[in-house]
Amino acid sequence: MRLFGMLLTCALTLGAQIDSVDPEYLVPKANPYNSAADVKRGAQMFLGQCSRCHGTKGEGGLGAVLAQPRLRRAPDDESLFHVIRDGVKGTEMPPAFTLTSKEVWQLAAYVRSLGRVEAVSLPGDPRRGADLYGTKGKCGQCHIVSGQGESVGPELTEIGARRNAAYLRQALVEPEAAVPDGFLQVRVVTKDGRSITGVRLGEDTFTIQLADLTGHNYSFVKQDLKDLQKDFGKSPMPSYQTVLSAGELDDIIAYLASLRGNL
């Protein structure tokens, strides 16, 4: 009991000492550096120190997608501060010990700005877009919106809150320009000569699982395959540049932008 008391006193004095060394040691709950100038400074640091993993617009890559309204490890400002300063143990996300608390907050302000896609008014008609989504686009063959459809591609229920209109246009016209993390196209040829192209669902040393473009799932023992190709940066999503007219593209983009889930 006495020992516990001593330890406690030690810890308290140590805490007090750290406080006296760095008045910013106590992390406030809300970001104190949130002005436009702070966001700008954060953007500069982000480009230099974070973009190689998170992408210049937080679109993700080796690092997590930051351009989304909810971050798994950082639901509030305080936890966002800790993630940026301390990193995430056991992952590539490094700590940023050389930054001051102010700089960490400025980065946090910028990271939050990435996830805020404002609702803007767009030229297309979202109702016609919803129609095209189901008919000419056949998007539901590969995407889920509010529980409907197949999960070959990413779920789109909240896509309008996560991606801006320019990104959505590019995703439709030039799908390969921005393939989100986790969607690797693979092509296999089985020993009996069947070729299947799909999205990798899982893989270990000996087996690989994929979903083909109709949403059918497969698991193969690699040894049993005649060929296995991984197409990094390729997308199984077709380009809609020539399938849809300019007006129809606008309509679908307006529809996608309106999909904001509960966000």
Stretch that binds ligand HEC, among 21-29, 202-210, 218-226, 233-241 (CB under 6 A): 233-241
The 10 Å CB-count burial string (b at 16+, else e) for 119-132 is eeebebbbebbbbb
H helices of the chain, in order, are: 2-21, 36-49, 51-54, 77-86, 101-114, 126-134, 159-162, 165-173, 246-258
Stretch that binds ligand HEC, among 25-33, 118-126, 150-158, 186-194 (CB under 6 A): 150-158
Stretch that binds ligand HEC, among 12-20, 116-124, 168-176, 187-195 (CB under 6 A): 168-176
Q: Are 220 and 188 in contact (CB under 8 A)?
A: yes
CB nearer to ligand HEC: give 139 or 220: 139
Binding mask 21-50 for ligand HEC (x = CB under 6 A): -------------------------x--xx
Alpha-carbon gap, residue 28 to 76, rounded angstroms:
11
What minimum distance in Å lies between the beta carbon of 85 and ligand HEC?
9
Helices 101-114, 36-49: axis angle to 10 degrees equals: 90
Please report whether residue 96 would count as binding ligand HEC according to CB under 6 A.
Answer: yes
Q: Are 108 and 38 in contact (CB under 8 A)?
A: no
What minimum distance in Å lies between the beta carbon of 24 and ligand HEC?
17
Of 55, 126, 137, 149, which lies in the binding site for ligand HEC, with binding defined by CB under 6 A? 137
Please report whether residue 58 would count as binding ligand HEC according to CB under 6 A.
Answer: no
Number of residues binding to ligand HEC, judged by CB under 6 A: 53
